[in-house]
Amino acid sequence: MSDEKMPGRWERLTKWGAGCAVIGEAEDVKAAIKHARQILGVASNMDRVGRVAPKVMEHLRQATEGLEKIDEGLEKVDNFCKDFIAMWRIHAAIKVLNDPGVMYEDSNRAAEAFGELFAGAGRLARYLPAPANQYADILAGCSQFFVKMRGLIVPELRPGTQGDILRKINRGTGSYGDLR
């Protein structure tokens, strides 16, 4: 679906997704919550505190429950952000691949776009029913596959003697007779 057919929708999603820029900070918060939960767990297991100050134990229990809810909320935000980034990657890749000349003019850019398309699809494939969702990890791992394969498929980019000769031919300093 083109951007023109989705007036305002992509812009709204982009604004929501802008909040994902702080996802690295969310990882720090999650680590701090995990640490705090461990400390609260140790404190909750102290029988002596429970006998001396039962209200303190109740506050520790409530704090632990609150931290669990915050952790669950952060996990949902993290998943939303990763899904949004996957949708953005797919959208950006399709825009690149819709250029009819990209394969000839900038094959590296096209290879990167194919990789982004597959990686984004892999992230979202986990929502598909079985058995299709089992391919999610494979697809998600394809982000650099096409770039690496391009180096083996495109003769001028191949490592070794043939690649060197083809690069010289393209520069006008070699001949096809050198390939024998």
Find the length of the chain.
180
Q: Does some domain include residue 130?
A: yes
Q: Which residues contact 154 (CB under 8 A, 6 or more apart)?
A: 107
* Shared-domain flag, residues 16 and 65: yes
Query: pLDDT tens across 108-144, in order?
Result: 899 999 999 999 999 888 888 888 889 888 888 888 8
pLDDT band at 1 (very low <50, low <70, confident <90, very high): very low
pLDDT tens digit string along 6-42? Answer: 556 667 766 666 666 655 566 777 777 777 777 777 7
Angstrom distance (rounded) from CA 169 to CA 113:
28
Residue 163 lies in a domain: yes
pTM for the whole structure: 0.60
Evaluate whether residue 6 is within a structural domain.
Answer: yes
Residue 92 falls inside a structural domain: no
Total domain count, the chain: 2
Domain of 44 in residue numbering reads as 1-85
Same domain, 1 and 79: yes
Residue 79 and residue 108 share a domain: no
Task: Indicate the residue among 85, 115, 137 that finishes a domain.
Answer: 85
Judgement on whether residues 63 and 121 belong to the same structural domain of the protein: no
